[in-house]
Amino acid sequence: MRVETICVLGGTGFVGRHIAGHLANTRVRLRVLTRNRERNRQLLPIPNLQLIEVASYDQESLAEQFAGCQAVINLVGVLNEGRGVGHRFEDAHVKLPEHVIAACRTVGVERLLHMSALLGAAPDAPSRYQQTKAAGERVVKAAHGEHLAVTVFRPSVIFGPGDSFLNRFAQLLQFFPVLLLPTPRLRLKPVYVGDVAKAFVQSLEEEATFGQCYELCGPKVFTLRELVDYVAAMLGVRRLIIGLNEAWSQRQARLLERVPGKPYSYDNYLSSKLDSVCSDDGLARLGIHATAIEAVVPGYLGRQGVQRRYDDFRRTAGRD
């Protein structure tokens, strides 16, 4: 299969930007759909990328955008539910894949790469996020057949420059002397965003990946507490980090989901009741060597720590 044009849903997000970077200046043309073109203008310099603003992700609108494409990549996901169509778990994780598959069949798209979730995605999982991710994954897998080759990816938590995981903890550690950490014993096997993007790109035309599901993890298991301690070390800060038990983790989630912006929700807490580690080494199956946190994180969090210490020296010397 030769892929010349790809339509990407969720392409303005963290993983989507890295996939676009991997495919920049190649023969492959990218159509990245967005609800707000102006907000994502940073993608416009990529010469083979077309940023298209669409008002709706219904079947008819998607079919219009998929026309002439050989492949579709669906990266859409929501960690916290919002109000309105497209912001609910069911809409983003189940109904959208249904619309994507119907649109692919309408215009004859032959290849679909779908981002699921490793963090306990199962019908009987504790959280709605996990349950709906599992339902969407089932829909996509059932669509695999003679006329539509499907590949599913299930990453653990993803790290890299600009991530919303380690950088979020970095912000909290910089501004608060005490951090109340929910579910500190949660086990994670973080995967580098560059490896995730490479897995998608390598799978586009590789027939051995058709009909397959790949769990994507890094080389090392961490507890959440160990990761937060590591971030603090990178920043060069000493903070009191208090690991909360189950009861207090629940209380914190109930409180924070009422805060504007919903930094943490009860559904997030339920998701964290299941570890996010791989039972299968999907990166190795794809011939990709997993990148360690220690090889990447000092490059972006370490610089923050150096800058912070420099600012401290300036304040001490009275040069602010």
Token duo for residue 21: 């970077």
Query: How far apart are alpha carbons 228 and 65 in whole angstroms?
Result: 42
Query: How far apart are alpha carbons 53 and 35 in whole angstroms?
Result: 5
The residue type of 115 is: M
Provide Rg for the chain, Cα atoms: 20
Q: Dump the DSSP string for 78-100.
A: -SS--SSTTSSHHIIIIIHHHHH
Torsion, Cα of 34, 37, 42, 48 (10° steps): 70
Which residue is listed with tokens 């038990």? 245
**What pLDDT is recorded for position 318?**
55
Question: Average pLDDT for consecutive 10-residue bins of the chain (320 residues)?
Answer: 95 96 95 95 95 95 98 95 78 97 98 89 89 96 97 97 94 95 97 98 97 97 98 95 97 94 92 92 97 96 57 49
Give all domains of the chain, ordered by start, each with its CATH number: 5-159+190-219+280-285 (3.40.50.720)
Query: How far apart are alpha carbons 301 and 271 in whole angstroms?
Result: 26
How does strand 149-155 pair with strand 213-216? Answer: parallel
**What pLDDT is recorded for position 306?**
41
Residue 239 near residue 178 (C-beta atoms within 8 A): yes
**What pLDDT is recorded for position 302?**
80
**What pLDDT is recorded for position 307?**
45
**What pLDDT is recorded for position 121?**
79
Query: How far apart are alpha carbons 56 and 290 in whole angstroms?
Result: 37
Query: How far apart are alpha carbons 175 and 162 in whole angstroms?
Result: 18
Number of Cβ atoms within 10 Å of the Cβ of 59: 17
The residue type of 63 is: A
Which residues, at least 6 apart from 193, have a Cβ–Cβ distance to it below 8 Å? 14, 15, 18, 158, 159, 160, 163
The dihedrals phi and psi of 275, each to the nearest 5 degrees, come to -65, 155
Sign for the CA dihedral angle at 141, 143, 146, 152 comes to: negative
Query: How far apart are alpha carbons 314 and 309 in whole angstroms?
Result: 9
Query: CB-based burial of residue 221 (10 Å sphere; 0-12 exposed, 13-18 middle, 19+ buried)?
Result: middle
Per-residue pLDDT tens digits for 264-295: 999 999 999 999 999 899 999 999 999 999 99
**What pLDDT is recorded for position 265?**
95
**What pLDDT is recorded for position 312?**
46
Per-residue pLDDT tens digits for 164-194: 999 999 999 999 999 999 999 999 999 999 9
Query: How far apart are alpha carbons 293 and 230 in whole angstroms?
Result: 10
Number of Cβ atoms within 10 Å of the Cβ of 142: 10
Query: How far apart are alpha carbons 275 and 262 in whole angstroms?
Result: 22
The DSSP secondary-structure symbol of 183 reads: S
